[in-house]
């Protein structure tokens, strides 16, 4: 079956917010594909995170 993708963008890269995103979307049947961070030049802390999920298309 083809995959469907979901990308969630957040500028709050705290552990609490990333856990909330992971728990919210996996509870809806999505599977974590990857997490990517956008960095600032002036800081060691990420400025944003992109969390990508996949699931099989429902075909309906």
Burial of 51 (0-12, 13-18, 19+ CB in 10 A): buried
Three-class DSSP category at 57? coil
Computed on alpha carbons and rounded to an integer, the radius of gyration of the chain in Å comes to 13
Q: What is the pLDDT of residues 1-33, one digit of tens each?
A: 899 999 999 999 999 999 999 999 999 999 999
Average pLDDT of span 24-52: 95
| Residue 43 confidence (pLDDT) | 87
pLDDT tops 70 at residue 60: no
């Amino acid at each position: 079956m083809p995959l469907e993708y979901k990308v969630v963008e957040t500028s709050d890269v705290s552990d609490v917010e990333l856990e909330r995103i992971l728990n919210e979307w996996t509870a809806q049947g999505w599977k974590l594909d990857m997490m990517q961070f956008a960095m600032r030049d002036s800081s060691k802390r990420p400025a944003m995170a992109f969390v990508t999920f996949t699931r099989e298309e429902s075909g309906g």
